[in-house]
Structure 1
Amino acid sequence: MNTGKVYIVGAGPGDAGLITVKGEECLKHADVILYDRLVNPLLLEKAEENAERIYCGKLPDRHHLRQETIQELMIEKAKQGLYVVRLKGGDPGVFGRSGEETAALEETGIDYEIIPGISSGIAAPHYAGIPLTHRELSGSFAAITGHRSLDNSGASPDWNALVRAVDTLVFYMGVKNLPIIAEKLKEHGKPSHTPVMLIEWGTTGRQRVIEGTLSDICTKADNEQVQNPAITLVGDVCSLRSEPSWFEKKPLYSRYVWVVKTSMPPSRVGEMLQENGAEVHEAPRFAAVPSASLLPDNIQLYDSLSFLEADSVPVFFEALRKQKIDIRSLPEKIYAGTKRTQKKLEGYGIFPFLEKAPEQEYSLLIGTKESLPVRANHPVWISHRLHVNENTRKTTARLVKDDMINTIVLPCAKAVDTLLCELDGIGVSAVEWTNNRTVICYGPQTAQRAQAEGINVYSTLEKPKQEELLKSVASLG
């Protein structure tokens, strides 16, 4: 068996869009992903469904997997000939212990690559509106670990050098040791009025910025109950912040939206929400499993074909190809049940009627089992069934249990049933969970269906347009 390879990938600082192109490609090809706590769970959605996901999450005071165990797992999986991705928050080489991991790989002769990531110490200040360097205020910066022992009892930075030689100081995970950091900097000559900024959950919708000075930042941090992950920025560049920052000015900043899906393709709605500052989870994720039943050989004998949903269209044409049925034998009349189905057919050079087939026509109905009528007056062909990605369900469960989602979008009445099913699967009451979250429905039918299940609806969009959804979510502030 050939030995596999390990890719140590920087996941970036929190915003899922900040992973590198090469890092994303590694995720798409991964057989195994070993990921840390601070990795955005949405990044795991970029991997194939059958990729094994192993949580190596760590908290500052509690370790889920020991570092040695993680290294042993990487080596074990690579020796099985697998494509292994070690996914780490930020950049692997900035307090990410990549040096220990590469040493272990070198020792065992495992091939590896390192794919750098954007470090939170650089990205979080940008998202707070602050550059680390500035022509007039800062010509240097230093990255310092903030969560190991910083007093005289253990390994400690050269405080004198930091104060005398560096303009901007960036402490990683320094909330617990903030009193020591402030005291040591003042003790070695930093003025007590030096600007300080704490950036909690930088680059995400939960980002908070606490401003102060070396003399009062500890009190402010206590009052605001700041917790890790957080970056502590010390230096005159902190005075450049204009409140709010470019990121915090986005209309959907702080919104984490779950768009409940009932079909396969990603929606343009999700893209629009992200562009306007929201974090977006589109779930469940589906894959089409083609039907085992064959298309009728005498398809030319039907008066017409009726496509009930868009996802059936490519499956139908693939079935034509496999069964070697000439497209010229199709009936002249073709109907589309929705506008999206109409557009999908047009992509194949077919321009259908946007309506139902007349009852008197001998029409073949084409769709999934769920979309086809229970008692059809026409013959039917089940094109495929929708397979739900179980790993996406795990992502949903984590987002729900970590209390990250604050807004739910229900695009159709069927999405209400999907929401109930997904929440029930993770042991959560839909009525209780949605009670303190914002639910937005497309159209009165969807709203009525949600309300019938005891779900409080914040807003009902009369027109299912992106602009209306944006306006509704933005009004939440």
Structure 2
Amino acid sequence: MAENSKKKGKVYLIGAGPGDPDLITIRGSSLLSSCDVIIYDNLIPHELIVTAPPHIEKIYVGKSASAHTLPQEKINELLVEHARQGKNVARLKGGDPFVFGRGGEEAEYLRKNDVDFEVVPGVTAGLAAAASAGIPPSHRDMSSAILLLTAHGAADHDLFVDWDWVGKVKKGTVIGYMGVRQLPTVVEKLIEGGMPPGIEAAMIERCCFSTQKVVRARLEDLPAEAERQNVNPPAIFIIGEVAALSEKLEWYNRKMLSGVRIMITRPADQSRWIYQLFRNMGAEVIAYPTIKTRYNDDKEGWEKFIRSGGKDNWLFFSGENGVRYFFGYLKSKQIDLRLVGRYAIAAAGHGTLRALRDLGYQPDYAPSVSGMVKFAQQMCEDIEVHKIKLIRVRGQLPHDNIAEILKKGGAEVHPLTLYKTEYADWRENEIKRLFMHPPHMIMFSSGKSVDGLVNILGHDKALELAAKSKIATIGPTTSEVVRKYKMEVELEATRHSIPDLINQIVQYYQKK
């Protein structure tokens, strides 16, 4: 105990990048999976938080223009407090921690308090915004200097930016952060300082999101154009001859789902491949799981599995969670995998089949039928189920229709209940963010995920969100739950699988 109490924690000041979760560094991503606590800011991609392992503590300390969860001094103290408890702390900040992210102040405080730290650089929003808008900040013929500045508080006398000096920059590119509300003042000061009113300029809202907005204008016209196009924070402004290249070099929003926000409500640990698939097609993924799962220790069920096996013994998997928890338990307890070979395997559903194959298992029975009830009925027709003993790997259920059908067919069914499904928890800031940028499409893959949305938001707020969006479901059972809450279904998968549902969503937007 004495040795453990002396363990020193470490703080990692990590840059999360500008918005797209794919733009975090490999080092940063690795630390998010291995730390003890994540302390994160407002503009962090939500996907990075929900896909972090569930045992990691997550603490939101975000600031916005109108609200601060914690003052900076308290954040500094929080970092030291957790490190002194022997924890490794991922301090996750938007962009790069040392570029207008107050990472320098936090590093100073950590050093002052003798806390070890490491800085993990990130892609800063100013350079990311330029790249995503097709603006090269440096260019052999146009710009040999890049100036990054913050416009926050531009009207204050004590701000350190010398606008007269900036206004005299020649053959360079000025990139400004936090300048939406101060833009008229900034432009006025720059022109007064000698910057040509007709020089090219641009403003990029929500850079590196599928729904990013690029506004182009001459410097003197930029404030009016930004207001006309309703530019809101977060946004970056870029001033310089290179801004003229944006229209010619624009490349970012040219994919089949560019400009579409899709909300995924499945548990995050099942949805990484869906997030990546939609993002590869250009969509902005809103990773807001409405349900989560946790392991359930079914000692009786495990004992039955270990003692049974042999001729006419089956393992029945009907979901990815069952596969994950089943093989995860075997690995954690170092149970010989050859035990599985004593069973024939039945797999219901595309996701289940994929999960088993990813582990190197080819099911003995996996007919292509839609729905779990039809699967069980088909199994009774194809196999002499009255001769078999079956371990039914499942979650905690109030009623098991599959088991009832198989029992009626004469099978001996024993449940192995490996996980519980619960409603997720959303913080107030997460709900606020969701309604600021609501999804165009909400994807439900189970009735439970619909129940989860209503449980989290309340029925009125869930209806409000649904009214701003379209709803796509995996099949008629889920659609029935949606309609129970007086919400409308726009799309329904015909083959009742996640790949088919994704395909339906893609086709829907391709027709538009």
Query: TM range, normalised to the smaller chain?
Result: 0.7 to 0.9
Aligned length: 472
Question: In 1, Cα distance between the equivalents of 2:334 and 2:413?
Answer: 21
- Quickly say closer, same or farther: Cα 1:185–1:405, change in 2 above 3 A: same
Match of 1:425 in 2: 456
Structure 2, gaps ≥5 residues long: 1-5, 368-378
Match of 2:440 in 1: 406
Aligned 8 A contact 2:39 2:58 in 1: yes
Following TM superposition, by how much is the alpha carbon of 1:110 offset from its aligned partner in structure 2, in angstroms?
Answer: 0.7
Question: In 2, Cα distance between the equivalents of 1:28 and 1:328?
Answer: 30
Alignment of 1:56-71 (within 5 A): 56-71=61-76
Match of 2:393 in 1: 367
- Quickly say closer, same or farther: Cα 1:70–1:456, change in 2 above 3 A: same
Q: Which residue identity lines up with residue 418 of structure 2 in the other structure?
A: H
Match of 1:352 in 2: 364
| Identity fraction in percent | 26
Which moved further from structure 2: 199-208 or 297-306? 297-306
Q: Which residue identity lines up with residue 337 of structure 1 in the other structure?
A: A
Following TM superposition, by how much is the alpha carbon of 1:310 offset from its aligned partner in structure 2, in angstroms?
Answer: 4.3
User: SS of 2:244's equivalent?
Assistant: helix
Aligned 8 A contact 1:305 1:364 in 2: yes
Match of 1:335 in 2: 346
Q: Which residue identity lines up with residue 444 of structure 2 in the other structure?
A: L
Q: Which residue identity lines up with residue 78 of structure 1 in the other structure?
A: A
Match of 2:100 in 1: 95
Question: In 2, Cα distance between the equivalents of 1:174 and 1:351?
Answer: 58
Following TM superposition, by how much is the alpha carbon of 1:253 offset from its aligned partner in structure 2, in angstroms?
Answer: 2.0
Question: Which one of the candidate residues 271, 279, 290 is aligned to 1:274?
Answer: 279
Match of 2:420 in 1: 386
Following TM superposition, by how much is the alpha carbon of 1:14 offset from its aligned partner in structure 2, in angstroms?
Answer: 1.2
Following TM superposition, by how much is the alpha carbon of 1:362 offset from its aligned partner in structure 2, in angstroms?
Answer: 3.2
Structure 1, gaps ≥5 residues long: none
Following TM superposition, by how much is the alpha carbon of 1:343 offset from its aligned partner in structure 2, in angstroms?
Answer: 5.2
Question: In 2, Cα distance between the equivalents of 1:175 and 1:66?
Answer: 23
Alignment deviations for residues 195-215 of structure 1 (CA, whole Å, 9 cap, x no partner) = 111111111134212211122
> Is the counterpart of residue 85 in structure 1 residue 96 in structure 2?
no
Question: In 2, Cα distance between the equivalents of 1:118 and 1:12?
Answer: 5
Question: In 1, Cα distance between the equivalents of 2:226 and 2:170?
Answer: 27
Following TM superposition, by how much is the alpha carbon of 1:395 offset from its aligned partner in structure 2, in angstroms?
Answer: 8.8
Alignment deviations for residues 69-119 of structure 1 (CA, whole Å, 9 cap, x no partner) = 111111111111111121111111111122211111111111100001100
Match of 1:455 in 2: 487
Aligned 8 A contact 1:308 1:337 in 2: yes
Alignment deviations for residues 49-88 of structure 1 (CA, whole Å, 9 cap, x no partner) = 1322222211235433211111111111111111112111
Match of 2:186 in 1: 181
Following TM superposition, by how much is the alpha carbon of 1:19 offset from its aligned partner in structure 2, in angstroms?
Answer: 0.8
Aligned 8 A contact 1:302 1:364 in 2: no
User: SS of 1:13's equivalent?
Assistant: coil
Question: In 2, Cα distance between the equivalents of 1:435 and 1:145?
Answer: 38
User: SS of 1:215's equivalent?
Assistant: helix
Flag the structure with higher helix content: 2
Aligned 8 A contact 1:299 1:329 in 2: no
Aligned 8 A contact 1:257 1:279 in 2: yes
Which moved further from structure 2: 336-345 or 234-243? 336-345
Question: Which one of the candidate residues 230, 233, 246 is aligned to 2:238?
Answer: 233
Which moved further from structure 2: 83-92 or 115-124? 83-92
Alignment of 1:304-315 (within 5 A): 304-311=313-320, 312-313=322-323, 315=325
Match of 1:214 in 2: 219
- Alignment root-mean-square deviation, CA: 3.1
Question: In 1, Cα distance between the equivalents of 2:149 and 2:306?
Answer: 71
Q: Which residue identity lines up with residue 409 of structure 1 in the other structure?
A: M
Question: In 1, Cα distance between the equivalents of 2:212 and 2:507?
Answer: 22
TM-score by length of 2: 0.82
Following TM superposition, by how much is the alpha carbon of 1:174 offset from its aligned partner in structure 2, in angstroms?
Answer: 1.2
Following TM superposition, by how much is the alpha carbon of 1:137 offset from its aligned partner in structure 2, in angstroms?
Answer: 1.7
